[in-house]
Chain A
Amino acid sequence: MADIHSVIGTKNKKGQTYTDTWKLMNEAPRTPSFFTGSEVIKEALRRASCDVMIAYPITPQSEAAALIGELFAEGYIGDYFRGESEFAVMSQCAGAAFGGARVFTTTAGPGTMRAMENFPMWSGARLPIQMIVTCRGINSPLSIQPDTLEIAYLLNTGMLVWHAETAQDFFDWILKGYMVSEEPDVHLPLALCCDGFFVTHTKDVVNLTPADMCLPPYDPYRSPVPCMDMECPPVRMMRDPFVMKSNYISYATHASWQQEIWAAVERSRKHSIHWLNGLIDTENTDAEIIIVASGTAVSQGREAIRLLEDEGVRCGLVKVKTLRPWPEEEIREATKNAKHIFVPEFNVTGWLAKEIKATISNPERVHAGPRVCGGMTMPPEIIVSEIKTALGMKTFSLAGRGS
């Protein structure tokens, strides 16, 4: 039986030293680098001891997928190939993970939707696959621009769902994500989401760990369910599933299995808190006005808070890092003083505002906006305008584009 601790301090074939992940993330020196989000995904993967990456092109994740192909050519990835479609890719990811590999893939928008059937299957099969979702519009007419509606569809798949604000989050969370995903009491796939273009195509300063240090390899024997061994396939699961039976025990089995998956999502809470330093980040939560957001909306909120400060309006911030597990207690606590809670979002339905309303007391405090969708940008000025309008303050009319 493999023991990951025994490899720490030894070198892989590329000369990288397998390093204790906590030390790698928290103690190893960091080098500031000016990179696009896509380049940062590549750099995280270079250090992730990834066995298999499966790619399929769709904007805005294509660059990241292509860059990881370069990594494979350099010898940093065990295997890399292109699937026939996103559905095929996600199924192939399942096969690789069943076989005991650490698996990585990237997708976006319509690709996420096309592959959707696989995601509850991944969590049901307890496969700790990591999937980067660079959100884009999913509707017709076709859009390639950022829009976070697809995240709403992922929330009930049984996957862990995290929403990165910046490329720095991406770099750290890709590596930490495997640590949470691969815990035996979790062992679930992770959808690590960001807003496409705003993160993937934006050049920003990111602090990278040394390139000659990497994660310990995945140990498939820590899986709570047996990994697929072709000499000893779990035939009863595959060929003779319970669904074919129609009796009490089959329903009970399915029900308890689903409960177990969601219990595993819950159990990921303590690991996520450990690795991410909490499920949310907060600033000035004693303020009467608070912005609660995830992803790029957090960044836009930060700029809005600066603008409001200039006008003497104090506003707090809650950055929601994990959507699954959902930081219920944390959000309740962070918003308990708030009289007004604003939830800026990059989607038409306002799924985050709905989650928050369902979580806190006096949900009429929630102003579900501002919202932009279909690839529109959210200038900080419109958040300011929304807040000032709600407070009955005078606001200038925004001369938007097209005026």
Chain B
Amino acid sequence: MIKRRLNIRMSGLGGQGAVTAAHVLAMAANRDGKFSISNPFFGAEKRMAPAESYCRIGIERIYDRGELVFPDVIQVFHPQVITMGKSYTMPFYSGVKEGGLVVINSDQELLSTDDIERLKDLNVKVFYIAGTELAIEVAGTELSTNMSMIGSVAGITKCVSMEALDGALQERFGKKFVASGGTASLDEAIKKKFAKKEMLLAKNLATVKAAYDIASAWAEKNQYELRVGNPAVAA
């Protein structure tokens, strides 16, 4: 399926970097010459509380803002989004569009039989990736989980190029970035995990790439396509 607009909803927990992931993805899409915007939605900034962010990527100017009520892609950054209902919606996939995609960061099945049935009715594909384990393995820290998630959505939908992601990561982490106190302290935390800034960038990019390859292979194997483009031209 080729769509003029790809709406991506990232449901995570405070501290996981869902907000940063949406920003980086949107920055990369912008670098690729596409139209994109990203924005977060959260309550009080605290660890493990529900936090959502949204990234919209398209081939024409995007005006739509705010919570993404009808997404094409839903990314679940943490099992508790599903198991403990840490989501702004119940169920977490509420509003997902037909033919859409759910990416779940887990190495085990988390959906109930009912959920599986309902998503099947909507022709929504579910892709599991052990994103946190991958982050620990490649980057040496679970703080890079959001990189696994970025790589997953990019690998399946090709909505952004690896080259653009590299540039976006450098832009985001290569210079001083002032946001809220919470974001600033998290930035400091992740910087302390790496000896040098270059190392941080390299390891994070490697995590994105590893997830990209796994996700890309999955999409190919399952013959699943969800792209941003002009459907008229593609047809």
Contacts and interface: CB of A to CB of B under 8 A. Distances in A.
A38 B178 CA distance: 10
Interface in B1-57: 23, 26-27, 30, 35-41, 43-44
A345 to B, nearest CB: 14
Given A203-B37, A203-B39, A401-B95, A198 B26 contact: no
Interface string A183-214: 00000000000000111011111000000000
B65 A63 contact: no
A364 interface: no
B178 A70 contact: yes
A201 B39 contact: yes
Nearest to A200: B39
A143 to B, nearest CB: 9
8 contacts: A144-B43, A198-B66, A300-B66, A379-B70, A381-B69, A400-B69, A402-B90, A403-B94
B179 interface: yes
Nearest to A296: B65
A47 to B, nearest CB: 18
B37 A300 contact: no
B63 A302 contact: yes
B89 interface: yes
Contact residue range for chain A? 35 or more
B6 to A, nearest CB: 15
A186 to B, nearest CB: 31
A377 B67 contact: yes
Given A197-B41, A377-B69, A303 B88 contact: no
B27 A203 contact: yes
Nearest to B184: A66
B173 to A, nearest CB: 15
Interface of B: 23, 26-27, 30, 35-41, 43-44, 63-70, 88-90, 94-95, 178-180
Contact of B89 (A62, A202, A401): A401
A399 to B, nearest CB: 7
A63 B37 contact: no
Given A63-B178, A402-B89, A203 B94 contact: no
A333 B40 CA distance: 38
A261 B219 CA distance: 65
Interface of A: 34, 36, 38, 62-63, 66-67, 70, 144-146, 197-199, 201-205, 296, 298-300, 302-303, 376-381, 399-403
B178 A378 contact: no
B176 to A, nearest CB: 8
Contacts of B38: 202-203
Contact of B63 (A63, A299, A381, A399): A299
A401 B88 contact: yes
Contacts of A197: 39-41, 66
Contacts of A299: 63-65
Contacts of B66: 146, 197-198, 296, 300, 377-379
A205 B30 contact: yes
A203 B179 CA distance: 13
B95 A204 contact: no
B117 to A, nearest CB: 16
B64 A202 contact: no
Max chain A Cβ within 10 angstroms of own Cβ: one of B27, B36, B40, B178: B178
A189 to B, nearest CB: 27
Given A38-B179, A300-B66, A377-B67, 16 more contacts: A63-B179, A66-B178, A67-B178, A198-B39, A199-B65, A202-B37, A203-B38, A203-B39, A296-B66, A376-B67, A379-B66, A379-B70, A380-B64, A381-B69, A401-B69, A401-B88
Contacts of A401: 67, 69, 88-89, 94-95
A303 B69 CA distance: 14
B30 A63 contact: no
A332 to B, nearest CB: 26
